[in-house]
Structure 1
Amino acid sequence: MTLKYTVLGAGAMGLRFGVLLQEHAGAEVEFVDNWQPQVDTIKEQGGVYVSRDHENKHLVPVKIYSPEEYNGDPDVFIVFAKQMTLQDLLDRSAHFFHPDKQYVFSGMNGMGHVEKINQYFDPSHVLAGTCLIGTVLNQAGDVDFIGKSGAGSINVAKESDDFDQETLNQIMTDFTAANLNPTLHDNFYGTLMTKVVFNSVINTLCTLFEIQMGQFIDYEGAEKLGVQLIDEAFDVCERAGIQLLSTRQEEWETVRYVSAVSNPLHYPSMYQDMSKGRNTEVDYINGYIYDLGKKYNYEAKTHDFLRGLVHLAENTRKFRK
């Protein structure tokens, strides 16, 4: 069984998935993006410049389109838009959706994207997951894969038990061949929320202090800060009936290990957005945890406070020369 993939959202992670599937799994891959400078630059260059850990920069030919000019018919969509731009991308792409026969995988940060995808695709055609993979979009048409080949991993879960097994097997086979190191789970929301909790610590704190993950974990008080956020998030999930993939201690150990060992030199994606003058996804991470808790009469006040600090930092950019 051979699958054709179209990546919706050719940012850092979308490019990494697509390029690796193209180069290592031998899959046919096309890209669609709603950021016109990305589309124009990659077309002008004849591909995307790819580096690994800031070295060996080389041009990889890829096919990229704006939503309006694309008319392909893939088997699987890989969705990696920012939460704030996803609705626009889906609406502009609807003319080439065939929900009865196409499938979707999304590994986006935060929460809120599944509900938007379900406007077009039934849960029986949707996979979602989380990525522990560092990737940086330096500028339009220029991406940097962080970590050695094969570094990082992803978690994958079916939104519905009715997802076609043959298609699922082939997607997992292709992701494995692409060195994405996938693990399949049967706990859909627990899989997604486990990464939200991770990001609510490392993305937010590194962004506020403009530091790398290794610099965060070097601070002697890092564990106290992280555990406070993790405890609040677990309290929320317990009240919402969401069983996470880890215990509270295991979640902190993941934050510690990734920060100290796997990606100490990495600036999280939220920092990348902040540093480039884009709005962050904090409302879909810390804000989501707080808003979910409110539904169950619990206030995750530290998460709400950090959300406010990130928005304060966003607002102060207008005063900088």
Structure 2
Amino acid sequence: MKYTVIGAGAMGYRYGVLLQEVAGLDVDFIDAWQPNIDAVREQGGVYVSRDHENRHLVPVNIYTPEEYHGEPDAWIVFMKQMQLADMLQRCAHLFHPGQYVFSAMNGMGHIEKLQQHFPDQHIVGGTAMIATVLNGPGDVDFIGKSGAGEMHMCNRTEQADDTTRKMEADFRTANLNPVLTDNFMGTLMAKVVFNAVVNTLCTMFRVQMGQFAVYEGVPELSRMMLDEAYDACERAGIQLISTRQEEVESIDYVSRIANPLHYPSMYQDFSKGRNTEIDYINGYIAKLGRENDYICHVHEFVTKQMHLAETMRQFTDASAAPAAQPIAAAPVPVLALA
């Protein structure tokens, strides 16, 4: 299959480069950030590192929406939630019947926007438990060893057809470790509730995931936030693909073992002076609760607190994240797996 990635940022590059380099597929990129486009064209590609090492140039084709004339079998969309509607409108003339779209964006709100351009049977939603950092224009860093992380994917109809299975096979060949599910909202919300804990708290305290995990109260804190999120989902008729305890264990494992030196994407945005996607993560959980006669007090609070922090940047130093630091060798309790 031929793929075109809309949004040549950290995750867009990760998916597109691996599909091109590892799976050997035809991949194009569309982006709206002109410094990124200019850098790639001047360099002859995107610089790719893994865990800050082995930086090398990968030739890629990159275009603005107005310049592109390709006809992929499937689109891969990785935009910031607040930028998506405008980007899809700029690309609308490129969408044709029969094309599929896959997106594993952070937060919730993108599916409704994709539905304005694609029928449900051609929409594949997903999650990506894969850490990646965009160092700057045309420069990306894949965090974790080759094959690290995993992703989930599900057709909007919850029925996997031949094209969905072909996409799953391509992602597997690219070492993205896909898991095909038949629970659309339960799949997407499992990542939202994870991010609502890790991304938000790491951003609030400006720490790496491993530093966050050193605090002995993380399991209790995680459970407090997860219980609210799960209660809201259950009232909305959404059954998540993981249990509450499995989410607690996932937060511990990913933070402490899988990606301890990683700054979540929300902090990457916050530290660069950009607005965060808090309304699409904790804010979405709070909204889901309100719509179902349930108040998520913690998520309501942290959503407003993050907006307060965004506003206060005008009075404080919000410099970019410091270089990754080793985690102090303090004893950290290991959660027993069920």
Quote the Cα distance in structure 2 between the aligned partners of 1:140 and 1:306. 31
Structure 1 residue 38: Cα displacement: 1.2
Task: Report the counterpart of residue 226 of structure 1 in structure 2.
Answer: 222
- What one-letter code is carried by the residue in structure 1 that aligns with 2:33? W
Quote the Cα distance in structure 2 between the aligned partners of 1:106 and 1:21. 15
The answer to whether structure 1 residue 12 and structure 2 residue 10 are counterparts is yes
Quote the Cα distance in structure 2 between the aligned partners of 1:211 and 1:282. 17
Structure 2, unaligned runs of 5 or more: 318-338
Point out the more displaced range, 310-319 or 122-131: 310-319
Task: Report the counterpart of residue 184 of structure 1 in structure 2.
Answer: 180
Task: Report the counterpart of residue 279 of structure 1 in structure 2.
Answer: 275
Task: Report the counterpart of residue 308 of structure 1 in structure 2.
Answer: 304
Identity of aligned residues (%): 62
The answer to whether structure 1 residue 55 and structure 2 residue 59 are counterparts is no
Structure number with higher helix proportion: 1
Point out the more displaced range, 198-207 or 32-41: 32-41
Quote the Cα distance in structure 2 between the aligned partners of 1:42 and 1:279. 25
Task: Report the counterpart of residue 81 of structure 1 in structure 2.
Answer: 79
- What one-letter code is carried by the residue in structure 2 that aligns with 1:134? A
The answer to whether structure 1 residue 256 and structure 2 residue 256 are counterparts is no
Task: Report the counterpart of residue 64 of structure 2 in structure 1.
Answer: 66
The answer to whether structure 1 residue 320 and structure 2 residue 309 are counterparts is no
- What one-letter code is carried by the residue in structure 1 that aligns with 2:196? S
Quote the Cα distance in structure 1 between the aligned partners of 2:159 and 2:121. 5
Task: Report the counterpart of residue 111 of structure 2 in structure 1.
Answer: 114
- What one-letter code is carried by the residue in structure 1 that aligns with 2:102? F
Quote the Cα distance in structure 2 between the aligned partners of 1:211 and 1:197. 19
Task: Report the counterpart of residue 133 of structure 2 in structure 1.
Answer: 136
Point out the more displaced range, 215-224 or 119-128: 215-224
Quote the Cα distance in structure 2 between the aligned partners of 1:24 and 1:216. 33
Structure 1 residue 162: Cα displacement: 5.8
Deviating beyond 2 angstroms after TM superposition, the runs of 4 or more aligned structure 1 residues are none
Structure 1, unaligned runs of 5 or more: none
Report the CA distance shift for 1:198/1:162 in structure 2 as closer, same or farther (over 3 A): closer
Quote the Cα distance in structure 2 between the aligned partners of 1:7 and 1:114. 16
Q: Residue deviations 1:296-315, cap 9 Å, x none?
A: 11110100111111111111
Quote the Cα distance in structure 2 between the aligned partners of 1:123 and 1:215. 41
Structure 1 residue 161: Cα displacement: 4.5
- What one-letter code is carried by the residue in structure 1 that aligns with 2:114? I
Q: Is the Cα contact below 8 Å between 2:159 and 2:182 reproduced in 1?
A: no
Task: Find 2:212's aligned residue among 211, 216, 233.
Answer: 216
Task: Find 1:288's aligned residue among 284, 289, 294.
Answer: 284
Quote the Cα distance in structure 1 between the aligned partners of 2:16 and 2:276. 24
The answer to whether structure 1 residue 148 and structure 2 residue 129 are counterparts is no
Quote the Cα distance in structure 1 between the aligned partners of 2:163 and 2:243. 32
Q: Residue deviations 1:106-151, cap 9 Å, x none?
A: 0000000000000000001000100110000011110000000000
Structure 1 residue 226: Cα displacement: 1.0
Quote the Cα distance in structure 1 between the aligned partners of 2:294 and 2:159. 34
Q: Is the Cα contact below 8 Å between 2:75 and 2:99 reproduced in 1?
A: yes
- What one-letter code is carried by the residue in structure 1 that aligns with 2:133? V
The answer to whether structure 1 residue 23 and structure 2 residue 16 are counterparts is no
Task: Find 1:97's aligned residue among 95, 98, 105.
Answer: 95
Report the CA distance shift for 1:161/1:247 in structure 2 as closer, same or farther (over 3 A): closer
Task: Find 1:241's aligned residue among 237, 240, 253.
Answer: 237
Task: Find 1:171's aligned residue among 152, 161, 167.
Answer: 167
Structure 1 residue 47: Cα displacement: 0.5
- What one-letter code is carried by the residue in structure 1 that aligns with 2:291? K
Quote the Cα distance in structure 2 between the aligned partners of 1:188 and 1:167. 17
Q: Residue deviations 1:175-232, cap 9 Å, x none?
A: 0010000000000000000100000000000000000111111001112211110000
Point out the more displaced range, 200-209 or 302-311: 302-311
- What one-letter code is carried by the residue in structure 2 that aligns with 1:90? L
Structure 1 residue 172: Cα displacement: 1.1
Question: Does the residue aligned with 2:37 lie in a helix, a strand or coil?
Answer: helix
Question: Does the residue aligned with 2:133 lie in a helix, a strand or coil?
Answer: strand
RMSD: 1.0
Task: Find 1:42's aligned residue among 26, 35, 40.
Answer: 40
Quote the Cα distance in structure 1 between the aligned partners of 2:121 and 2:110. 16
Quote the Cα distance in structure 2 between the aligned partners of 1:274 and 1:146. 19
Quote the Cα distance in structure 2 between the aligned partners of 1:58 and 1:313. 37
- What one-letter code is carried by the residue in structure 2 that aligns with 1:62? V
